[in-house]
Amino acid sequence: MTAVDDVPTTKGSDAAAAGSAPDTPPVPPAARRRLPRIAELRTVLRFRRPTLDPVERRLESALTIADLRRVAQRVTPRAVFDYVDGAADAEATARKNLAAFETTEFLPELLHSVVDPDISTTLLGDRIALPLVFAPTGYTRLMHEAGETAAARVAARVGIPYVLSTVGTSTIEEVTTAAPGGNNWFQLYLTNSEALNAELVERALQAGVRTIALTIDSAVGGRRLKDLRNGLTIPPSLTARTFLDMARYPSWWIDKLTTAPVEFASVRDFPGVSYSEVAGLLFDPGIDYDDLAWLRSRWPGNLLVKGIVNPEDARRVVAAGADGVVVSNHGGRQLDRSPATLDVLPAVREAVGESTTVLLDSGVRNGQDIIAAVALGADAVLVGRAYLYGLMAGGERGVDRAAEILRSEYQRALQLLGLDATAKIGPQHVLRSERASG
Ligand SMILES: Cc1cc2nc3c(=O)[nH]c(=O)nc-3n(C[C@H](O)[C@H](O)[C@H](O)COP(=O)(O)O)c2cc1C
C-alpha cells in the first residue's frame, strides 16, 4: 500500500470524524480534511530549472549507459550508430556478453563501514581512479568530430587510461598533445608491412606511450552484416537508403564537412599506401608467435595481448613475453559464438597466475559489471561502446557523462556490497547462476 492509500478519503471517514457513526473508530486529527494551503506544498513541489542547451538537456536526462545509447540512436545517422552498436554475424556473442553480466548476482558482506570508499586501484604500476580503461575504437571521429582526443581528455580528467587504436582517426601525437598528463596507451594491429609496424612502435615510444596492446583476434575482419547492408565498408558503398537517412542529420554532416577528413590518421602518411589499401594491409592473416616475439624485442614498455578467450592462449602469450592479457571477444565484433568473456575469465586468471595483469572487456555497460569482472579475476575492465554512446550523444560532454555514470554506479555498488575499497572485492562476493545461453 502506498502512502496515498493510507489517507482516508471517503465520506464514511468524514462522518466518523464528525462522530455521526459511533461504531467506527475516530479519524486522527492529522488525517482530517481542511482547506488547501498551497504554501505547504513547496516542500514537495519543487520544479527543475529548465536547461536551455539541448545537448546538456539530453545528457542530464541520461541516468544510465542504456539511456545514453537511446540518445545516441536518436541523434546519429543510422549507419553510424549501427557501426558502433552492431556485432558480427548473428550477434550471438554480443548478446552473451551482456547476459553473462546481467545474470551474475552479488553477495554482500554487511555491517562494515563504507564511509569514503577507496575505489582506486593499481594497474601496471600506476594508481588509477577506478578499475576502468577506455578501449581502442577505430573510426571514432565518424561518430562525432570530437573523436579520440575528447575521449583521451576525459580519461585524463577522470584518472584512467585511454587506448588509441591503430585505425583511430587522430594520430598518436594528436592524442598525447590533447591529453598531455594522461595515461595514454596505444593499440597495435600488426600489419603485413614490417616497416609500418616499426614506425608505429617508434612513434608510440617517442610520444611517451608506456603501454601497447597488441590485438590478435583480427586476422581477418569480422563480418558485420549491418555495415554490409548499410554500405558502410572500406571503401564506402552507401546504399540510397543509408544516404537519405544520413541527410536527416544536418549537424552531423556539417561536422564532417567542416573538420579534418575521417581517415586512419596514424597510417595516412605512410609512403606508398593509398586509403583503400589500408584495410587490406591492417588485417594480416599471417600474424603468429614470431610477430609477438618481434614486437617484444622492439617494445621496451608494457605489452598486453588483446583478444584472448582461451586460457591456453593466455598462458602461451605470457610465456612469450607479454606482461598481461585482455580477455576480449572484441565486443562480439569478430568471431561470433566466442564465449562471453566473463565466463572464461576465472580460467584465464588461473592459467596466468596472480601476478600477471588481466583485463577484460566486451559487454561492460554499468558499474556493477566492473565489480563482477574484478570479483572474477580482472584487474580492470575496458569499455568501448559505453563511452562511444556518450560521444555520439554529446561529444566530449557525453563522454564525461558516461564516465561519471560508470564511476558513480561502481562506487554505489561497492558500498552496497559492504566494501570500502576496490582491493576488498573477491570471488566470494558473486554468485554465477545457471542461465540459458544466447
Ligand atoms: C566501433 C568500435 C570500433 C572498435 N575498433 C577497435 C580497434 O580499432 N582495435 C581494437 O583492438 N578493438 C576495437 N574495438 C573493440 C574494443 O576495443 C573493445 O574490445 C570492445 O568495444 C569491448 O566491447 P564493448 O563495446 O561491449 O565494451 C572496437 C569496438 C567498437 C565498438
Residues 91-102 pLDDT 10s: 999 999 999 999
Nearest CA to ligand 1 atom 29: 137
Give the active site residues.
330
CB 69 within 8 A of CB 401: no
Which of 36-50, 94-108, 380-394 is predicted least confidently? Answer: 36-50
pLDDT of residue 114 exceeding 90: yes
Output DSSP code: residue 361: -
Q: Would strands 302-308 and 104-106 be described as parallel, antiparallel, or unpaired?
A: unpaired
> Does ligand 1 lie within 6 Å of residue 221's CB atom?
no
Q: Would strands 104-106 and 430-432 be described as parallel, antiparallel, or unpaired?
A: antiparallel
Residue in 292, 310, 361, 368 with CA at minimum distance from that of residue 137: 361
> Does ligand 1 lie within 6 Å of residue 96's CB atom?
no
More confident residue, 52 or 292: 292
Q: pLDDT at position 11, please? A: 46
Which of 43-57, 164-178, 199-213 is predicted least confidently? Answer: 43-57
Please choose from 83, 167, 333, 391 the residue to mutate so as to test ligand 1's pocket, defined by most ligand atoms within 8 A of CB.
333
Cα 437 to ligand 1 centroid, rounded to whole Å: 23
Q: Which atom of ligand 1 is nearest to the CA of 168?
A: 8
Tell me the C-alpha distance between 137 and 168, whole Å: 7
Tell me the C-alpha distance between 339 and 9, whole Å: 58
Cα 328 to ligand 1 centroid, rounded to whole Å: 9
User: What are the residues facing 305 on neighbouring strands?
Assistant: 214, 325
User: What are the residues facing 121 on neighbouring strands?
Assistant: 128
Mean pLDDT of 148-153: 98
Tell me the C-alpha distance between 103 and 343, whole Å: 11
> Does ligand 1 lie within 6 Å of residue 147's CB atom?
no
Cα 257 to ligand 1 centroid, rounded to whole Å: 25
Mean pLDDT of 286-312: 97
Q: What pLDDT, in 10s, does the model give residues 384-396?
A: 999 999 999 999 9
Q: Which atom of ligand 1 is nearest to the CA of 329?
A: 19
Output DSSP code: residue 421: B
| 273, amino acid identity | V
Residues 6+ apart with CB under 8 A from 307: 215, 216, 217, 218, 326, 328, 329, 330, 334
Tell me the C-alpha distance between 411 and 428, whole Å: 18
CB 39 within 8 A of CB 55: no
Select the highest-mean-pLDDT range: 141-145, 251-255, 382-386: 382-386
Mean pLDDT of 252-256: 81
CB neighbours of residue 437 within 10 Å: 12
Tell me the C-alpha distance between 148 and 396, whole Å: 10
Measuring CA to CA, how many Å separate 329 from each of 82, 133, 288? 18, 16, 18
User: What are the residues facing 128 on neighbouring strands?
Assistant: 121
pLDDT of residue 31 exceeding 70: yes
Which of 31-35, 78-82, 182-186, 407-411 is predicted least confidently? Answer: 31-35
Cα 21 to ligand 1 centroid, rounded to whole Å: 72
- Burial code (b: 16+ CB inside 10 Å, e: under 16) for 167-187 equals bbbbbbebbbebbeebbbbbb
Mean pLDDT of 270-290: 77
Nearest CA to ligand 1 atom 2: 137
* Structural domain boundaries in the chain: 4-43, 55-432
Tell me the C-alpha distance between 430 and 355, whole Å: 22
> Does ligand 1 lie within 6 Å of residue 167's CB atom?
yes
Q: Please tell me the pTM assigned to this model.
A: 0.90
Q: What is the CATH superfamily name and number for domain 55-432? A: Aldolase class I (3.20.20.70)
